[in-house]
Chains A and B, each alone.
Chain A
Amino acid sequence: MPVRVQIEDFDVNAEVAALRADSPQIGAVVTFIGTVRDMNEGSSVAAMELEHYPGMTEKALQNIVEQAKRRWQLGDALVIHRVGPLLPRDQIVLVAVTSAHRGEAFDACEFIIDYLKTEAPFWKKEQTPEGARWVDARVTDDAALKKWHIDAALQGVEK
């Protein structure tokens, strides 16, 4: 399963081992792990809650992985994203990409997380001393996507 949305934590070593177990042609594995910060927008964050759109979120992640596989020669790619309550230091997301050589794996991994941040339906709500608040989308995330020649908010539109 190349994409998973789950409440439970994940074990990066086990996931990477499984991803490349049957692929002796793989020469590079690049992983990105997103974690919960204890500060955001000038406020301390005691906890957060992640919401998603069951069905659509998995489909969006699948689409992102497929686009990466079309752009680069990859062995495989895995995305695990957690939902539910999370605490500072917790792991939120894992992107793991394998390829024969490192260049493709680095690029594809960055592409997947950039794309995920603007197009996959997840929403964070933070608990701060000022109360609970929904995290605002960042303009810098849309800018990151432009690097891949994709305009945010147009993606995944099927007519």
Chain B
Amino acid sequence: MKIQLRFFASVREALGVSQESVELPEGVNTVGAVRAFLRERGGMWAETLGEARSLRMAYDQNMTDADTPIKEGGEVAFFPPVTGG
């Protein structure tokens, strides 16, 4: 399935990309699985999306966790803890 990826703030800078469309292999069907799939790209991807990193995730613009299932055309976002206000 094809989904949209969004990256913000320090994650966006580290990866050098703010958004992209990606075709997922079969079996990659949760937000956490997308994160693991992207880590396989290696380099900054492996580092920035590492399990130990304090990272927030959103699915279709709602804060979410790794277990959330994703669907065709969905939007998955990765970003650091927020610092507004």
Do A and B interact? yes
Chain A residue nearest in CB terms to B68: A159
Answer whether A155 and B61 are a contact pair too, CB < 8 Å, given A93-B85, A122-B82, A122-B84: no
Task: Give chain A nearest CB distance to B32 CB in angstroms.
Answer: 13
List chain B residues, Cβ under 8 A from A53.
6, 8, 58, 61, 77, 79
Q: In this assembly, does A117 line the interface, its C-beta being within 8 Å of a C-beta of chain B?
A: yes
User: Which of B10, B54, B68 touches A123 (beta carbons < 8 Å)?
Assistant: B10
**Is the pair B84, A123 in contact by a Cβ cutoff of 8 Å?**
yes
CB nearest to A113 among chain B residues: B85
Q: Are B63 and A156 closer than 8 Å at their CB atoms?
A: yes
Beyond A53-B6, A123-B9, A159-B68, is A116–B63 a contact (Cβ under 8 Å)? no
Q: Is A7 an interface residue (CB 8 A)?
A: no
Dominant SS among interface residues on chain A: mixed
Q: Per-residue 0/1 for B58-70: is the Cβ within 8 Å of any A Cβ (1 yes, 0 no)?
A: 1001111100100
Q: Which residue of A has the minimal Cβ distance to B12?
A: A51
B contacts, CB < 8 Å to A:
6, 8-10, 13, 54, 56, 58, 61-65, 68, 77, 79-85
Write 26 A-B pairs (CB below 8 A) sorted by A numbering.
Answer: A53-B8, A53-B58, A53-B79, A56-B58, A56-B61, A81-B84, A93-B85, A117-B83, A118-B81, A119-B63, A120-B85, A121-B8, A123-B10, A123-B79, A123-B80, A123-B84, A134-B80, A137-B80, A137-B82, A137-B83, A156-B63, A157-B63, A157-B65, A157-B68, A158-B62, A159-B68
